[in-house]
Structure 1
Amino acid sequence: MPFSRVFSRPLRIGALALLLPLFLAVGCAQLPKDVERPVSNALAVPAETPLGALVQQRRGAERARFDSGFVLLNGPAAAYGSRLALIEAAQKTLDLQYYAIHADASTGRLLRGVVDAARRGVRVRVLLDDFHSTGRNALVMQLAFEPNIEMRMFNPVAGARGSSVGRMFNALGDFDRVQQRMHNKLFIADNAMGVTGGRNLGDAYFGIAQTGNFVDVDVLAAGPIVQDMSRSFDSYWNNERAYPVQSLVSREELLKMRDQARAATAAQQERDGNADGAKPPDGEPRPSDAGPTEAQRAAAWDEKPLDLRTVTFVWAPAVMLADKPAKIAAESDSPPDTSPSPALVVTRARSADGARRLSALEDASASADGGETVVSGLLQLIDQAQKDLTIISPYFVPGPDMKRAFAAARARGVRVRVLTNSLASNDAPIAHVGYARHREELLAMGVALYEMRSEQAGLGSALGASGASATGESRSMLHSKVLVMDGRLLVVGSMNLDLRSQLQNTELALLIRSAELSRAAIAQIDSVMQTGAWHVEQADGGLVWRAPPGSGLADTRTEPDASVGLRLLLKLFGPLAPDELL
């Protein structure tokens, strides 16, 4: 969750105000100076690896017109299996770039495979945004002390890693820099195949968390487009904002934190065993740190690698957009980055013979290239829509530029549909306020709004807890970032359509010109809109949430599935949070 979303949670504002003088008196921890960052780059000739040879063989056997191939990964099994397959297939290099890597069961299985790959001679580089590397999750940093593995933390937060709260207080004096985060996601093997999209690494992203799971979409890419993904990775890896783990924390400190985490887990298990089953006084569910049971893991996925020899690739032209690292400020005492543009278009995909381009993709990428950031580029792209625009954005906070783009599209007769989280399905409910305050304006201009269904959500979710439903079942939370335009252009990436992604976090997006992949994505989105989402409409001077047909649910005039307390809390405190900080 972005740094400012934590600070904007209403129940913590008062506590911060009271404690601020104390922390200013204590002073802020500092980041290390004169850090050595040996420069390294992606594998130069991926075709010489078995994975690269497989890509060439598949392309030749299928007589593909285009150099790059894509698989739309929808669902935890395919998402997890693709990463396992890349780990097992890698012979030379593995490059991982993520906003969050959680120390839990699913990640443990993946990272054991990464360590095994390093021990057989694969060079591993792991680049992780530093925001979530506290407490138990800091243990992921032990990778840096494994032979043949390098790990760097991007835009680190100074201070001890025992708790996220303590690090936040240390960051108060450098708030503008620290609230900006590296939100990119890449998983690349031998510079020949790679996965990108919205997923971080953790149980909740692979369908086995006990309390709440994210609905997400990834793309497996093969061919020259992966080299462009790697160039983006290298630009972040070799940037001054990337700190080797060893410059931030020692192995001894991590081992101490590991022992503390184990002791805390044992104590929690003992408390759970002695509990009498009584509910908390307010009746709200509490999240559990317990990992998934074997039955839950088996029901979600069977931990089998995807068969890269038989998976069906769609060969198509593609463009990748990636924000430059300069979008995030360096240390406050460093000279400013003077790069002319914080956005980067890193490829213009050609057909296999290199002689023919698809004008629609050229026009789209040229429009996107005019933006100052990835999201601004996508807004330029929206200006090219002629018939249909379908968007999934879990955090949807439209700024003035976005609303102008939607209004112009509607004026051209373009059908615009947006699927986002409901208040109940949002893992950061305060961000829902930034969407809700624009809801009636969007509906008035003709934008169709759909909100993801969820189980009952109460005050616990206002604190960011992906809480269990009232029935004890895990609830679903939308996390996919997808755009489909005119039935022929598919965009999958890390970006939300909100001001945070546009102005603060770094993002990336893969634009694929494919009617086949666009149809597949639209089919999945339509299914959710028809059976798993509330359709929001204006009626009789207010809003009404239309229940999905056949769901057995009734239409409602209040935020569905959210408790009265949560709705009231956000109504009172929501106006205090500006859009750009949500």
Structure 2
Amino acid sequence: MGCQELPPLDTRIPSHAFGRDEVPNTALGREIARDTAAHPDESGVFALTEPRGAFAARAMLAATAEHTLDVQYYIWRHDITGTLMLKALLEAARRGVRVRLLLDDMTTASLDPMLAALDTHENVEVRLFNPFVHRKFRFIDFITAFARANRRMHNKSFTADNSATIVGGRNIGDEYFGASEHLMFADADVLAIGPVVKAVSWDFDRYWASASAYPAASLLPPSSASAQAEIFGAAARVANGPEANKYLDALHEDGTIDALLTHNLPFIWAPTQMLSDDPAKGVGKASPEALLVTRLSKIIGAAVGRFTLISAYFVPTQAGTDALVALARRGVDITILTNSLEATDVAAVHAGYARYRKTLLEAGIVLYEMRSGNAKTNMAVFGSSAASLHAKTFSIDGERVFVGSFNFDPRSAQLNTELGFVIESAILAQRIAAQFNTAPQYAYRVMLSNDGNVYWLEQCDGKTLRHDEEPYTSIWKRMGVRLLSIMPIEWLL
């Protein structure tokens, strides 16, 4: 595309979530209404713990939808699960379901032809958040429009018939659903029904109509309805592979949506609040009061007994470190799990965290770092195994839980838009806190020696191993992280 500026937004056709103020007259809506009637002012939440089940739940929601699918993601890979999910959306559209797909444009380059083909269906509209003008050479936008291109939409939600939604940390890609041979993320999602779904639909509408959401048709190369066949062809090709068979089996074996429709899904019923950033954050115009981090800070600051945090990309900054230390001095027990250098997929983020590690330990804060690995984790919140932590959740005082897309780092706080739930559930809070009872099975305990040096304890075959350097990393990687830790790049992380 030769265009050197973004197209105008006045050609967008307004649309809104289906049945925002009524019970949708669909099979999903009717069955859920029967469950929610017994729990006024509460939402039902069900943790999607297994990665394959998390994929199957999304695919089955797409297959069950009768009127609308509103889908919003930061990353959508051109891989097995990404291709199969695009096929599921197109199949829904062909049944008459209106599909609205809002994607951040950061990683869509290889998907442009398939998105263009999907967008040609009369029941589908694709919009791109903060899109790149230069489709092939996207780095040019970081030179010519850095302030905008550096702001991304990190929200993740998948909502069917305005009746059920999936919100959490997973993007759409093989590594999030256990199909990658190279990397698997430990992550957390919840399936929710009840009043909070209406809030997610309202939030989707405001992002859909925001100043950062551009119709894909105005940006992508022209396509035709016949090109939709390539989506089915691509899905058929990946379905013939051995890895895809696991996902096809998961669709047949996972009973989440069937259990939902037959009132057999063990929901936890609790007051649940959706928190999200004002989409104006995408253009740098959101007020501090409209930022998710402002509201989370108030919730965390109210802790009186215990604060348990799990964050894949944990960069507390000086202000955040000071706030955590102050909490600890007030007598709050704080335990944090993040990725080790060995496990992280972003070394620069680890550098941003490492500079505050000693200060946190000196304040009595307990630190665990996820091991990489081939090892089974037995982490019920995240699934059965993991190579790298990707979840973002916390619990406070054994009473409430946050699950969502927000990383505790400057990028989530100031640059990316984010979305999550605060769930007033002692059951969920205690489950998250309980993960740390078995933390030595899957994480290093980070300690501080008497002479002020950081070291790591590893439990292995009944023995305790001590590491005086970042475990199982090369000297070159450690030197690189130390160099990054003294560079002024924290605001980019």
Same fold (TM over 0.5): yes
Q: How does 1:276-291 map to 2 (within 5 A)?
A: none
1:379 alignment partner AA: S
Alpha-carbon deviation of 1:135?
A: 2.7
Structure 2 Cα separation of the partners of residues 492 and 50 of structure 1: 28
1:430 aligns with 2:401: no
Number of aligned residue pairs: give it. 468
Which of 339, 342, 345 matches 1:421? 339
Instruction: Report which stretch shifted further, 486-495 or 540-549.
Output: 540-549
Q: How does 1:66-145 map to 2 (within 5 A)?
A: 66-136=41-111, 139-145=114-120
Alpha-carbon deviation of 1:301?
A: 6.3
- Contact 1:323/1:508, CA 8 A, preserved across alignment: yes
Tell me: CA distance 1:297–1:559, structure 2 relative to 1, closer, same or farther (3 Å): farther
Which of 372, 375, 392 matches 1:454? 372
Tell me: CA distance 1:139–1:88, structure 2 relative to 1, closer, same or farther (3 Å): closer
Alpha-carbon deviation of 1:226?
A: 0.3
Tell me: CA distance 1:293–1:450, structure 2 relative to 1, closer, same or farther (3 Å): farther
Alpha-carbon deviation of 1:251?
A: 3.2
Alpha-carbon deviation of 1:570?
A: 2.3
1:319 alignment partner AA: Q
- Contact 2:134/2:140, CA 8 A, preserved across alignment: no
1:41 alignment partner AA: H
- Aligned with 2:180: secondary structure? coil
2:101 alignment partner AA: V
Alpha-carbon deviation of 1:237?
A: 0.1
* Aligned equivalent of 1:535: 445
* Aligned equivalent of 1:197: 168
* Aligned equivalent of 1:53: 30
Tell me: CA distance 1:233–1:299, structure 2 relative to 1, closer, same or farther (3 Å): closer
Alpha-carbon deviation of 1:252?
A: 4.5
Alpha-carbon deviation of 1:311?
A: 1.5
* Aligned equivalent of 2:423: 512
Which of 222, 228, 244 matches 1:251? 222
Instruction: Report which stretch shifted further, 503-512 or 566-575.
Output: 566-575
1:522 aligns with 2:440: no
* Aligned equivalent of 1:547: 458
* Aligned equivalent of 2:327: 409
* Aligned equivalent of 2:378: none
Structure 1 Cα separation of the partners of residues 390 and 269 of structure 2: 26
- Contact 2:211/2:280, CA 8 A, preserved across alignment: no
Tell me: CA distance 1:404–1:113, structure 2 relative to 1, closer, same or farther (3 Å): same
- Aligned with 2:144: secondary structure? helix
* Aligned equivalent of 1:224: 195
Structure 2 Cα separation of the partners of residues 525 and 88 of structure 1: 37
1:481 aligns with 2:392: yes
- Contact 2:196/2:274, CA 8 A, preserved across alignment: yes
- Aligned with 1:226: secondary structure? helix
* Aligned equivalent of 2:14: 39
- Contact 2:354/2:485, CA 8 A, preserved across alignment: no
Structure 2 Cα separation of the partners of residues 455 and 448 of structure 1: 22
RMSD value, Cα: 2.8
Structure 2 Cα separation of the partners of residues 299 and 116 of structure 1: 17
Alpha-carbon deviation of 1:550?
A: 4.0
- Aligned with 2:308: secondary structure? strand
Structure 2 Cα separation of the partners of residues 536 and 291 of structure 1: 43
- Contact 1:531/1:551, CA 8 A, preserved across alignment: no
1:445 alignment partner AA: A
* Aligned equivalent of 1:29: 4
- Aligned with 2:250: secondary structure? coil
Structure 2 Cα separation of the partners of residues 138 and 557 of structure 1: 50
Structure 2 Cα separation of the partners of residues 561 and 156 of structure 1: 39
1:381 aligns with 2:288: no
* Aligned equivalent of 1:470: none
Structure 2 Cα separation of the partners of residues 117 and 301 of structure 1: 20
Structure 2 Cα separation of the partners of residues 58 and 118 of structure 1: 28
1:145 alignment partner AA: T
**Structure 2 residues not aligned, in runs of 5+:** 375-384
2:399 alignment partner AA: R
Alpha-carbon deviation of 1:58?
A: 2.3
- Contact 1:379/1:402, CA 8 A, preserved across alignment: no
- 1:244-302 CA distances to partner (integer Å, 9 max, x unpaired)? 1011012349999x99xx9xxx9xxxxxxxxxxxxxxxxxxxxxxx9995157539962
Structure 1 Cα separation of the partners of residues 9 and 17 of structure 2: 25
Instruction: Report which stretch shifted further, 541-550 or 36-45.
Output: 541-550
* Aligned equivalent of 1:361: none
* Aligned equivalent of 2:159: 188
Alpha-carbon deviation of 1:138?
A: 6.1
* Aligned equivalent of 2:379: none
Alpha-carbon deviation of 1:415?
A: 0.6
Tell me: CA distance 1:114–1:254, structure 2 relative to 1, closer, same or farther (3 Å): closer
2:274 alignment partner AA: M
- 1:63-91 CA distances to partner (integer Å, 9 max, x unpaired)? 43643111011121331122122112211
Tell me: CA distance 1:240–1:187, structure 2 relative to 1, closer, same or farther (3 Å): same
* Aligned equivalent of 2:266: 312
Tell me: CA distance 1:34–1:93, structure 2 relative to 1, closer, same or farther (3 Å): closer
* Aligned equivalent of 2:402: 491
- Contact 1:547/1:553, CA 8 A, preserved across alignment: yes
* Aligned equivalent of 2:242: 294
Structure 1 Cα separation of the partners of residues 208 and 388 of structure 2: 31
Tell me: CA distance 1:68–1:475, structure 2 relative to 1, closer, same or farther (3 Å): closer
Seq. identity, %: 37
- Contact 1:103/1:139, CA 8 A, preserved across alignment: no
- Contact 1:382/1:405, CA 8 A, preserved across alignment: no
Tell me: CA distance 1:31–1:137, structure 2 relative to 1, closer, same or farther (3 Å): closer
1:327 alignment partner AA: K
* Aligned equivalent of 2:476: 565
- Contact 1:66/1:315, CA 8 A, preserved across alignment: no
- Contact 1:127/1:154, CA 8 A, preserved across alignment: yes
- Contact 1:209/1:291, CA 8 A, preserved across alignment: no
Tell me: CA distance 1:28–1:391, structure 2 relative to 1, closer, same or farther (3 Å): farther
Tell me: CA distance 1:143–1:90, structure 2 relative to 1, closer, same or farther (3 Å): same
- Contact 2:80/2:244, CA 8 A, preserved across alignment: no
Tell me: CA distance 1:120–1:482, structure 2 relative to 1, closer, same or farther (3 Å): same
Alpha-carbon deviation of 1:549?
A: 5.9
Tell me: CA distance 1:526–1:29, structure 2 relative to 1, closer, same or farther (3 Å): farther
- Contact 1:391/1:482, CA 8 A, preserved across alignment: yes
Structure 1 Cα separation of the partners of residues 373 and 474 of structure 2: 11
- 1:420-453 CA distances to partner (integer Å, 9 max, x unpaired)? 0111111111111000011111111111111010
2:280 alignment partner AA: A
**Structure 1 residues not aligned, in runs of 5+:** 1-26, 267-289, 331-336, 344-372, 457-473
